[in-house]
Homo-oligomer: A and B are copies of this chain.
Amino acid sequence: MSTVQKSTARNGVNVEALLGARTALTQTPEAARFNWRATSEWLHGTHSRATVAGFHGLGGEQKHRQTFQFDLDHPEIFAAEDNGATPVEYVLVGLAGCQSAGIAAGAQNRNIQLRSVKATLEGSMDIQGILGIDDKVRNGFDGIKVHYDIDADATPEQIAALVAQSQKRSAVFDIITNPTDVHVTARKV
């Protein structure tokens, strides 16, 4: 016998629409199939530029409001030109944004007013892996630490629960913590 209380928190997340989408997609699970895309062009040295423009979902092609471009490079201490953040930093950026969106959506759903959500992320890595010095050293992060400082109308326990819930439903958290198959093909043009 639960009663639905009107949410008074204003975090900017349209939870009603998300819950509506959940109901709609339960009826039409094929519309829940998404394909997210990026293209990339090598420029010079370790510098490349990636573009994100459209994706497939809800049964059709979708376009972002604008095209997003990203420069990626290696830093000067790797004898490169540092024309962009490194690829592994982009992974941390993705993780931060995914969990932050989840915290905001969860807070709205629980009627918790957020005032600020700040995250610091650190991925540790032994570059003996990518340099091929030691095959026993992995190429990627050997661990990631994320810390959230959250100012909100909530108890520390509610904040801990909010962060735990966002982690449970985070796409990027899942991609990083669980193995995902990557199939690579190449063609000479």
Contacts and interface: CB of A to CB of B under 8 A. Distances in A.
Interface string A153-170: 011100110110001011
A178 B179 CA distance: 5
A97 B40 contact: yes
Contacts of A160: 186
- Which among A57, A126, A160, A189 has the greatest number of chain B C-beta atoms within 10 A? A189
The main secondary structure of chain A at its interface with chain B is: mixed
B13 A93 contact: no
A143 B183 contact: yes
Contacts of A117: 41-42, 48
B114 A50 contact: no
Interface in A141-160: 141-152, 154-156, 159-160
Nearest to A22: B131
A103 B44 CA distance: 11
A144 to B, nearest CB: 5
Interface in A39-74: 39-42, 44-48, 50, 52, 55, 57-58, 62, 64-66, 68, 70, 72-74
Given A124-B35, A147-B185, A104 B42 contact: yes
A187 B85 contact: no
A38 to B, nearest CB: 4
Interface string A113-128: 0101111111111111
Contact of A186 (B62, B80, B159, B188): B159
The 6 closest A-B pairs by CB, nearest first: A72-B97, A12-B45, A90-B94, A17-B79, A40-B96, A140-B174
